[in-house]
Amino acid sequence: MSKLFFVASDEEIKNGKTTDIYFERTEEILRKKAISKSVAAEVTCGGIPNSWPWGIFLGTEDVARLFEGIPVTVYSLREGTFFRAKDDQGIRTPVVLIEGDYASFCVYETPLLGFICQASGIATAAARVKKVAGEKTVLSFGARRMHPSITPMISRACYLAGFDGVSAVISADMLHIPATGTMPHALVIIMQDHAKAWKAFDEIVDKTVSRVALCDTYLDEKLETLMAATAVKDLSGVRLDTPGSRRGNFKEIIQEVRWELNLRGYSHIKIFVSGGLDEDSVQDLKPFVDGFGVGTYVSNGKTIDFSMDIVEMEDQYVAKRGKFSGKKQIYRCKECLRDVIVPWNSRPPECHGKMEPLLEPLVEKGTIVQKFPSASKTRDHVLEQVSHLDLF
Ligand SMILES: [Zn+2]
């Protein structure tokens, strides 16, 4: 089959073609030897990147569709649930549990992990940035740093993790939100004049789009900002994307621009910043800006190393060295958010408040049984959870 790009299609993923060859060989051996073993396999991780205390689990919907039509039963954390790598007894948090004939699903281990490891890693980095930014706007600008075939996944992970908007068109369409962005330096260069570019934007672009002028292409940020403020009647903001070589002290540049705008009666003009931002710079600049465009730091969010292990076979406890055998459920106290992991079908442990089981039925014998809330509802849920969590 000829392909335009080096990517797997939905169909190839669904048919297990992205799997590692050893799973295909295992399936072949089991089928030819007529070995059918009912197993329970759980997905866990040993830690969250950067020793962060929690992560945001993402990929539930993709996992559901991956296993739809496969004769297995799957339990999973809900999309956007925060998780810790282990509970306070050192037991790894099960984020997904699969039951079925091993040969029927072994080839799906590779795509299953791929779906959740990367999306959860991006969502975790994004949730942290949004927590630092607080009420300030944060937009996902990271599409260009990653493979275009996963642009929707990246933007969705950022949005569900609490970002306020996304710049990529396809992602905005999928999320049913308007795409957000300003103008590239290229427009200013092509138009040969800052004011001409800003005015053309104001003249041509739909009136519902905020008039935000990019103010750092050729001249000083302060000078270009004041030029834009007088050139565009309804200017709502400026974006400063000062290159690293010219930054000196980016915070002081922003403070100066803010002062000069306010002094001339432009206190309503907002300041947006972009370019190489991360948790630390968002924290540092937050008091002086109205919004951030964050790209590589989140789209390149470290993948979370989830792995899958068989923990029961024919209802007997089994596990490889280093893994705890037996199916497990994770309970979370609604009051203090403590997690307690117990053997499956144990009585709920006790804590301050109601203990909720977090592994919920996702797929039953190949049928998706979970209803997925809208992206904005999941986003609200993530923001609510993260509001109770510390960054370190
Ligand atoms: Zn409690």
- Residue 233 identity (one-letter amino acid): K
Q: Which of 165, 159, 160 is nearest to 179 (CA)?
A: 165
* pLDDT tens per residue, range 115-131: 999 999 999 999 999 99
Q: Determine the distance separating the centroid of ligand 1 and the alpha carbon of 330, expressed in angstroms.
A: 14
Determine contact, residues 80/160, Cβ cutoff 8 Å.
yes
Q: Determine the distance separating the centroid of ligand 1 and the alpha carbon of 339, expressed in angstroms.
A: 8
Determine whether 209 is exposed, middle or buried from the number of CB atoms within 10 Å of its CB (0-12, 13-18, 19+).
middle
* pLDDT tens per residue, range 61-85: 999 999 999 999 999 999 999 999 9
Is residue 248 predicted with pLDDT exceeding 70?
Answer: yes
- What's the mean per-residue pLDDT of the chain? 97
Q: Determine the distance separating the centroid of ligand 1 and the alpha carbon of 341, expressed in angstroms.
A: 13
Q: Determine the distance separating the centroid of ligand 1 and the alpha carbon of 335, expressed in angstroms.
A: 5
- CATH 3.20.20.70 in the chain, residue ranges: 131-299
Is residue 291 predicted with pLDDT exceeding 70?
Answer: yes
Q: Is the pTM of this model over 0.75?
A: yes
Return the pLDDT at 157.
Answer: 98
Is residue 257 predicted with pLDDT exceeding 90?
Answer: yes
Neighbours of 233 (CB within 10 A): 9
Q: Determine the distance separating the centroid of ligand 1 and the alpha carbon of 334, expressed in angstroms.
A: 7
CATH fold of 131-299, please? TIM Barrel (3.20.20)
Return the pLDDT at 2.
Answer: 78
* pLDDT tens per residue, range 307-363: 999 999 999 999 999 999 999 999 999 999 999 999 999 999 999 999 999 999 999
* pLDDT tens per residue, range 182-219: 999 999 999 999 999 999 999 999 999 999 999 999 99
Percentage of the chain beyond pLDDT 70 is 100
Return the pLDDT at 1.
Answer: 61
- Please count the helices (runs of H) and the strands (runs of E) in the chain: 14, 18
Q: Determine the distance separating the centroid of ligand 1 and the alpha carbon of 215, expressed in angstroms.
A: 51
Q: How would residue 107 be classed by pLDDT, with cut points 50, 70 and 90?
A: very high
Q: Once rounded to an integer, what is the mean pLDDT over residues 164-190? A: 95
Q: Which residue has the higher pLDDT, 247 or 364?
A: 364
CATH number of the domain at 10-120+302-387, out of 2.60.40.10, 3.30.390.30, 3.20.140.10, 1.20.1250.20? Answer: 3.20.140.10
Q: Determine the distance separating the centroid of ligand 1 and the alpha carbon of 349, expressed in angstroms.
A: 10
**Planar angle of CA 196, 252, 164, nearest 5 degrees:** 65
Q: Determine the distance separating the centroid of ligand 1 and the alpha carbon of 340, expressed in angstroms.
A: 10
Determine contact, residues 194/187, Cβ cutoff 8 Å.
no
Q: Determine the distance separating the centroid of ligand 1 and the alpha carbon of 332, expressed in angstroms.
A: 8
- CATH 3.20.140.10 in the chain, residue ranges: 10-120+302-387
